[in-house]
């Protein structure tokens, strides 16, 4: 669950404690923890579907807006139900993935382990996709997930889940819009060399 950089500090200060999202299926759950891409972690305390008219001025204020209309204005272009998500800031927790992603000194044994894990993902019945997706992200830094998903003929929700699996290995990083290879991911692709035609 991503937030605009402009609200990260208000979230850390406890001024923003709610977000409104439009999703086809819930993308957050109560008790789930999510990282702000600058720094810090939030914990979701409540997720519920609401009607547009149920959004109160207090909800809008908690989401960082002056009115319900302002809070809802940017959501009309999205499909799905309207979700009201409450959360609290829990602080700067260590992010092992960030340290892993920054480590571009991949030793031979580590590379074999990474490739074995990617091969296991590739063995799920879809054929080989992991390295292709890494190369796609490497060539399209900051491109919206929806656009990348269309290029590979994948539903956006499933595409994002694929990227999260690569992120868990320290190979990609989320941006405010889109993704990029982490230093570790870029080092892996460099070590593998160009794709043979």
Say whether both 103 and 87 belong to one domain: no
DSSP per-residue letters across the chain: ----GGGHHHHHTTS--EEEEEESS-S--TT-EEE-SSS-EEEEEEEEE--GGG--HHHHHHTT-SSHHHHHGGGTTS-SEEEEEEEEEEE----HHHHHHH-----HHHHHHHHHHHHHHHTTTT-S-HHHHHHHHHHSTT--HHHHHHHTT--HHHHHHHHHHHHHTT-EEE-SSSEEE-HHHHHHHHHH-SPP-
Q: List the domain range (segments joined by +) for residue 186.
A: 97-192
The pLDDT of residue 196 is 56
The total number of residues shown for the chain amounts to 197
What total number of domains does the chain contain?
A: 2
> pLDDT at position 168, please?
87
Domain closes at, from 91, 113, 141 = 91
Residue 197 falls within a domain, yes or no?
A: no
Domain boundary, last residue among 56, 91, 126: 91
Q: What is the pTM of this model?
A: 0.55
Would residue 108 count as lying in a domain?
Answer: yes
Q: Dihedrals φ, ψ of 174, to 5°?
A: -85, 140
Decide if 30 is inside a domain: yes
Q: What is the CATH number of the domain that holds 64?
A: 2.30.130.30
pLDDT at 95: 64
pLDDT at 94: 66
84 with 50, same domain: the answer is yes
For residue 51, count CB atoms less than 10 angstroms from its CB and return exposed for 0-12, middle for 13-18, buried for 19 or more: exposed
Residues 160 and 146 in one domain: yes
Last residue of a domain, one of 58, 91, 124: 91
Residues 113 and 132 in one domain: yes
70 lies in the same domain as 113: no
CATH number at residue 181: 1.10.10.10
Mean pLDDT by 10 residues, the chain (197 residues): 88 96 90 85 96 96 96 89 96 73 80 90 84 95 95 92 91 92 93 70
Cα 185 from Cα 134, distance rounded (Å) = 7
With respect to residue 39, please indicate whether it lies within any of the assigned structural domains. yes
> Is residue 103 domain-shared with residue 184, that is, in the same domain?
yes
Residues 77 and 153 in one domain: no
Residues 50 and 120 in one domain: no
Phi, psi torsion values for 17, nearest 5 degrees: -130, 15
Please tell me the distance from the alpha carbon of residue 78 to that of residue 156, in angstroms, as a whole number: 12
* Residues 110 and 163 grouped into a single domain: yes
């Amino acid at each position: 669950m991503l937030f605009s950089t402009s609200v990260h500090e208000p979230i850390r200060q406890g001024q923003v404690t709610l977000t409104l999202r439009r999703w086809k299926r819930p993308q957050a759950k109560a008790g789930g923890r999510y990282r702000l891409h600058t720094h810090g972690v939030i914990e979701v305390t409540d997720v519920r579907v609401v009607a547009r008219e149920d959004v109160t001025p207090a909800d809008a204020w908690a989401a960082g807006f002056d009115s319900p209309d302002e809070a809802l204005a940017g959501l009309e272009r999205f499909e799905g139900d309207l979700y009201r998500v409450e959360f609290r800031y829990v602080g700067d927790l260590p992010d092992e993935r960030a340290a892993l992603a920054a480590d571009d000194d991949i030793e031979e044994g580590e590379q074999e382990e990474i490739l074995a894990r990617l091969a296991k993902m590739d063995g799920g019945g879809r054929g080989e996709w992991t390295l292709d997706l890494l190369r796609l992200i490497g060539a399209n830094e900051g491109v919206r997930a929806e656009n990348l998903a269309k290029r590979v003929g994948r539903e956006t929700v499933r595409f994002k889940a694929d990227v999260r699996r690569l992120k868990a290995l320290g190979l990609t990083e989320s941006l405010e819009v889109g993704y990029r290879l982490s230093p570790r991911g870029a080092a892996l692709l460099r070590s593998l060399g160009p794709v043979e035609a």
